[in-house]
């Protein structure tokens, strides 16, 4: 059982100020992408299975929103992070390689991940029901790699949350190893009978969270540029119901 980790307001301030420039650049980029259309507009696509990418910084709420999206729309949910963690837990060659990068909070090299994603999307359900690609691609090179494999989303949902809130969410995050369910020591504490067995991911520390945010901010603008006209930026610093309502607005317009 891990002990509660706390952070000072000063630490949050440092985290937030460190990435202000990148956040502002991203905001300008997003406005440029959507300037000629409404905030939630997406390009018109032919009727058929929905293909969606959901993106955002670590702890921006992707996992929670993915559960809600899958429940409502029946899409095949593919999380690159889950694929990687499964490989790490199984001790596969790719898993061992991936863990070295994950423990530092760095992006795992494209060649390690792309094959996993392609295989996961090459199923009858993904082809017939549509898919929701969670947290991938995270860089321009990853976007190029999956495009070459024919993986092209109809819409990209980008969750936007301030950095100080993201760091607080990360350091308090805990996982039930038996069910895989994610809890938070402050916002969503685990039940008493579950709390004792909950664990903290090796990269869910303040130092590694800040490094992951730096990596995220340095790459997200490039990803946005790869999907021009398909970006739908959502304010993720609200209740999950309000965030989901906006997401549904995007999906229902597809």
Q: Which sequence positions are flagged as catalytic?
A: 62, 138, 173, 201, 212
The strand order across the sheet containing 50-56 reads 76-79, 130-134, 50-56, 155-160, 231-235
31: exposed, middle or buried (Cβ count in 10 Å: 0-12, 13-18, 19+): exposed
Nearest Cα to Cα of residue 53 among 104, 141, 121: 121
Which residues lie across from 184 on neighbouring strands?
173, 188
- Write the DSSP string, 71-107: HHH-PEEEEHHHHHHHHHHHT-HHHHHHHHHHHHTPP
The answer to whether residues 78 and 126 touch, using CB atoms and an 8 Å cutoff, is yes
| DSSP annotation of 254 | -
Within 10 angstroms of residue 33's Cβ, the number of other Cβ atoms is 19
């Amino acid at each position: 059982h891990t002990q509660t980790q706390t952070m000072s307001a000063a630490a949050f301030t440092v985290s937030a100020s460190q990435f202000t420039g990148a956040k502002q650049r991203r905001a300008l980029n997003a406005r440029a992408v959507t300037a000629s259309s409404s905030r939630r507009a997406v390009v018109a696509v032919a009727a058929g299975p929905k293909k969606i990418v959901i993106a955002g910084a670590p702890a921006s709420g992707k996992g929670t929103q993915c559960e809600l999206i899958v429940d409502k729309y029946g899409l095949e949910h593919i999380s690159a992070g889950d694929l990687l963690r499964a490989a790490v837990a199984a001790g596969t060659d790719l898993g061992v390689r991936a863990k070295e990068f994950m423990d530092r909070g760095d992006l795992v090299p494209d060649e390690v991940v792309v094959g996993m994603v392609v295989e996961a999307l090459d199923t009858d359900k993904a082809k017939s029901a549509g898919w929701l690609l969670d947290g991938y691609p995270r860089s321009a090179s990853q976007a190029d790699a999956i495009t070459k494999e024919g993986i092209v989303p109809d819409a990209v949902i980008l969750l936007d949350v301030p950095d100080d809130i993201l760091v607080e969410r990360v350091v308090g995050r805990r996982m039930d190893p038996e069910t895989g369910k994610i809890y938070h020591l402050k916002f969503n504490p685990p039940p008493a009978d579950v709390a004792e067995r909950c664990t903290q991911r090796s990269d869910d520390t303040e130092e590694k969270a800040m490094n992951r945010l730096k990596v995220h901010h340095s790459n997200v603008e490039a990803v946005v540029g790869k999907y021009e006209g398909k970006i739908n930026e959502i304010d993720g610093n609200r209740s999950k119901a309000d965030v989901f309502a906006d997401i549904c607005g995007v999906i229902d317009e597809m």
